[in-house]
Structure 1
Amino acid sequence: MTRIGILGTGRVGTNLARKLAAAGHHVTLGGRRLPDTDTPATPRVTFADHRTAVRTADIVINATPGDSSLDRLTDLRTELTGKILVDVSNATRDARDGLPGELCYPGSSLAEKLQAALPGTHVVKTLNTMLFMVMTAPESLAVPPTAYLSGNDEHAKRTVTALLGDLGWRSEQIEDLGDVTTARATEAMILVVPHILRRHGFEPFAVSLAR
């Protein structure tokens, strides 16, 4: 059993928490405010503030809004030292209709900024090229989706690959792109997402590799 801290209690964070808990991991959902109830909706899931969620975890998942992730996680530098940080967020500024607009870090990426700000942490970018429901149900799409990996540490990427397996991803669906600088490519894929959403609504989809 791995202790996993998930930062962010929105749809992405809670969806990942349920699936990882069902796979046997102990999950702590970290938020700025604790829920009104002390009883988690899912066994093996507890709630805490961000700092506690990181301090008690072996692996940390960043599911906070990407445009504020850098400031939030930099504040947790001490607690994140020596840990694997799985970054599933995209850093964009909202368009007028509330959908993703411009990139916050053109020519770079949130993952690169996090790695530079957290040199003692192993940042791995993944699962940021799909709607949140596909993250935990890759089998739900008619065409097998792709989960891309970007990160500097090979051991950390192997660990995250195993974690993806617990979420239902098969090895042939996981594409290791290389070091953390490759995250700028997958983060840029968010630019196509608002156009798809405007045409098709919030139907599950992923931006995948077909071959």
Structure 2
Amino acid sequence: MTTIAVLGNGRVGGNLTTALTRAGHEVTATGRTPGAAADAARRARIVINATPGAGSLERLIALREELRGKILVDVSNATLDGPDGLPADLLYPGSSLAEQLQEALPRTHVVKTLNTMLFTVMTAPTALTQAPDVFLSGEDPQAKQTVRELLTDLGWRKEWITDLGGIRTARATEAAVLFVPHVIRSSGFAPFAISVAR
């Protein structure tokens, strides 16, 4: 059992909180209230950023001391939304939210994952008709191994988990969010994930 704080109680955060609790972890979910977020982060071993990506950097910098030495799992994508509310461009072109977080929080182990799929797939990968992929980006091998174990608790098979390397690789997976509005307009909100055919 791991003590986990999920920052963000919307569809993504709620989905992860339910699944991780079901898997036997001690999970605290919190919204954007600074005091509640700080308290949850302070008590957790792992903190999951499921807040809207456009405001994540500012929110998490405010938790610098609470996040010191912790694993920060970043599942958000920082985008500029179009008139329909769907992602239209990247907030950090030539970089990524994960890189910005790691630079701003050097004593926190940032791991990027679960950001290349519709939120329902995060906790139900076997529901897809084809095998999906989930990617890991981060500088600390031990932190990535811990996150890999969390992913298996969420139903991800070991062969579906790909370690892309350092945190700089997160800019590739975050850019994949630009597929999302086109897929949704074409197929609706049916579950999907980016996968690599092998």
In structure 1, what residue type is equivalent to 2:12?
V
Aligned residue number for residue 123 of structure 2? 136
1:30–1:52: 8 Å Cα contact kept in structure 2? no
Structure 1 Cα separation of the partners of residues 166 and 82 of structure 2:
30
Quick check: 2:68–2:108 contact (8 Å CA) kept in 1?
yes
Contact 2:116–2:173 (8 Å) recurs in 1: yes
Letter in 2 for 1:191: L
**Which of 134, 139, 155 matches 1:152?**
139
- List per-residue Cα deviations over 1:27-82 (Å, max 9, x = no partner): 0001135xxxxxxxxxxxxxx81111101100000000000000000000000000
Counterpart amino acid of 1:201? G
Please give the root-mean-square deviation of Cα atoms over the aligned residues, in Å: 1.1
**Larger % of helix: which?**
2
DSSP 3-state at the match of 2:30? strand
Q: In structure 2, what is the equivalent of residue 94 of structure 1?
A: 81
Kept in 1, the 8 Å contact 2:7–2:32? The answer is no
Task: Return the alpha-carbon distance in structure 2 between the equivalents of residues 100 and 53 of structure 1.
Answer: 29
What is the letter of the counterpart of residue 153 of structure 1? D
Q: Which residue of 1 aligns with 2:60?
A: 73
Question: What residue ranges of structure 1 are gaps of 5+ in the alignment?
Answer: 34-47
Alignment length (residue pairs): 198
- Kept in 2: contact 1:125–1:151 (CA 8 A): yes
Question: Cα deviations across residues 117-165 of structure 1 (Å, max 9, x unaligned)?
Answer: 0000000000000000000000000001001000000000000000001
| Cα separation, 2, equivalents of 1:126 and 1:61 | 10
> How does the TM-score come out when normalised to structure 2?
0.98
TM-score, normalising length from structure 1? Answer: 0.92
Question: Matches of 1:56 and 1:9 in 2, distance apart?
Answer: 18
Q: Distance in 1 between matches of 2:32 and 2:143?
A: 27
Segments of 4+ moved more than 6 angstroms: none
Alignment partner, residue 122 of structure 1: 109
What displacement does 1:88 show? 0.2
Give the distance between the partners of 2:114 and 2:120, measured in 1 at CA: 11
Is the CA contact 2:69–2:108 (under 8 Å) kept in the aligned structure 1? yes
- Mapped to 2, the partners of 1:9 and 1:78 lie a distance apart of 22
Structure 2 alignment gaps of length 5 or more: none
Aligned match of 2:12:
12
Query: Identity of aligned pairs, percent?
Result: 64
